[in-house]
Amino acid sequence: MPWCPKCGAEFREGFTACNTCHVKLIGHKPDGTETIEEIAPPPEGWERESPKKQRILRIIRALTVVLLALAAALLLQHL
């Protein structure tokens, strides 16, 4: 299991960097003698979308699908 040499957190297989400390993980439990390799921080201005914005986008997508389905049903009635 990978470990963070800075904070000591254990990660599942497949992770390569600590999401808190932003350092590369090591393959054993840290004992304090490891060197810490920092990775490049995310670019400035990069942020995940807020949950509120994600919810609004999901609602808009759902409404779009419903409106397209209604339009298709109306078109099929006129054929």
**Chunked mean pLDDT (size 10), the chain, 79 residues:** 90 89 87 78 71 92 97 91
Burial 30-58 (b: 16+ CB within 10 A, else e): beeeeeeeeeeeeeeeeeeeeeeeeeeee
pLDDT for the residue numbered 22: 84
Neighbours of 66 (CB within 10 A): 10
